[in-house]
């Protein structure tokens, strides 16, 4: 992680700004955090110890599936929405996973920087290597984010937890938050057949309620595509989702084996744009 990326981070204990010396991030009160050998910084509060996030297998499956370009329409839409970013702006992704979307938004602007936040150290390892302009940080999205006030010009949140109060604190007053949520039709061809977790019918209402008084929605678009997935891609797709936590792997492979190849699977999400209130 580059030293200039650490300057936008803050200590999870006292909230003071951090600075990197050699391979250790320190605050003025001498709280110290060593960079992991894989390049990420662990700023997970002690109260959050024991929260693992996505496993190594889930992160590996996500890397393979996203590398196949199946969710490229989502990435492309985020890039388009971020077109007005300045060359040296900071982009923060909450629940960044492998950094796939964040790296896309950073694009080719050499001075643009990114912070990838995720509770999974396996995801943090991947994000730390995807682009040298990205600083990868392990943290708990439901607690205070380890970032300075008003430090980000853009925040991304793709299929991830949303702590509205903290995201508004970190986001600059003129900044924007891009949120991607699944629609009822998303992966509909697989949900019943493979026993996947269904999309909450109240997701839209819950999103509105969680942002009420903190963010105002300024735009929304539906992104849909018909994905042609071979059985290997279907397997990786399932294994990268929360459904992987409760499915029997052998049974899953048996169900996938009877699917047509390629299987036509619906990608259907909503990309909404939010601005901080006031």
Q: What is the pLDDT of residue 187?
A: 95
Q: What is the pLDDT of residue 278?
A: 73
CB within 8 Å of 146: residues ≥ 6 apart:
9, 10, 11, 12, 43, 117, 137, 139
Mean pLDDT of the chain: 93
Helix (H, G, I), strand (E, B) or coil at 153: strand
156 near 150, Cβ under 8 Å?
no
For the stretch 49-104, pLDDT in tens is 667 789 999 999 999 999 999 999 999 999 999 988 988 899 999 999 999 999 99
pLDDT surpassing 80 at residue 193: yes
134 near 157, Cβ under 8 Å?
no
Fold of the 3-276 domain: Rossmann fold (3.40.50)
For the stretch 138-188, pLDDT in tens is 999 999 999 999 999 999 999 999 999 999 999 999 999 999 999 999 999
pLDDT surpassing 90 at residue 208: no
Cα 56 to Cα 115: distance, rounded to the nearest angstrom: 21
pLDDT surpassing 70 at residue 126: yes
Domain boundaries, the chain: 3-276
Cα 164 to Cα 276: distance, rounded to the nearest angstrom: 10
Q: Which residue has the higher pLDDT, 199 or 153?
A: 153
Query: What number is the average pLDDT over the span 187-206?
Result: 86
Confidence of residue 48 (pLDDT cuts 50, 70, 90): low
Q: What is the pLDDT of residue 50?
A: 64
CA distances from 63 to 71, 106, 123, 129, 222 (A): 12, 18, 10, 12, 24
Query: Using CA of residue 224, residue 270, residue 137, residue 110, what is the dihedral sign?
Result: positive
∠ Cα 144 145 149 (to 5°): 100
DSSP state of 198: P
Query: Using CA of residue 212, residue 213, residue 214, residue 220, what is the dihedral sign?
Result: positive
Contacts 24+ apart (CB under 8 A), 245-254: 247/194, 247/195, 252/194
pLDDT surpassing 80 at residue 261: yes
The crossing angle, in degrees rounded to 10, of helices 56-67 and 231-239 is 140
Query: What number is the average pLDDT over the span 187-213?
Result: 87
Query: What number is the average pLDDT over the span 261-273?
Result: 96
Q: What is the pLDDT of residue 202?
A: 75
Q: What is the pLDDT of residue 76?
A: 97
Helix (H, G, I), strand (E, B) or coil at 246: coil
Q: What is the pLDDT of residue 47?
A: 65
């Amino acid at each position: 992680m580059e030293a200039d990326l650490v300057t936008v981070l803050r200590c999870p204990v006292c909230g003071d700004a951090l600075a990197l010396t050699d391979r250790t991030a320190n605050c003025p009160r001498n709280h110290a955090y060593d960079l992991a050998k894989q390049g990420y910084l662990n700023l997970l509060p002690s109260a959050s110890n024991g929260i693992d996030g996505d496993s190594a297998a889930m992160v590996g499956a996500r890397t393979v599936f996203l590398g196949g370009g199946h969710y490229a329409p989502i990435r492309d839409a985020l890039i388009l929405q971020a077109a007005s970013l300045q060359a040296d702006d900071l982009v923060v992704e909450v629940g960044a996973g492998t950094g796939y979307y964040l790296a896309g938004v950073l694009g080719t602007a050499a001075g643009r920087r990114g912070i990838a936040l995720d509770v999974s150290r396996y995801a943090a390892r991947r994000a730390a290597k995807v682009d040298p302009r990205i600083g990868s940080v392990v943290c708990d999205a439901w607690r205070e984010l380890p970032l300075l006030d008003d430090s980000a010009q853009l925040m991304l949140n793709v299929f991830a937890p949303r702590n509205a109060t903290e995201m508004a604190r970190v986001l600059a007053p003129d900044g924007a938050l891009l949120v991607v949520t699944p629609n009822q039709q998303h992966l509909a061809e697989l949900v019943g057949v493979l026993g996947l977790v269904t999309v909450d019918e109240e997701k839209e209402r819950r999103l509105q309620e969680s942002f009420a008084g903190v963010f105002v929605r300024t735009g929304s678009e539906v992104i849909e595509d018909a994905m042609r997935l071979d059985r290997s891609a279907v397997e990786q797709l399932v294994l990268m989702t929360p459904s992987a936590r409760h499915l029997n792997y052998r049974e899953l492979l048996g169900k996938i084996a009877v699917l047509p190849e390629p299987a036509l699977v619906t990608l259907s999400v909503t990309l909404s744009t939010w601005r901080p209130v006031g």
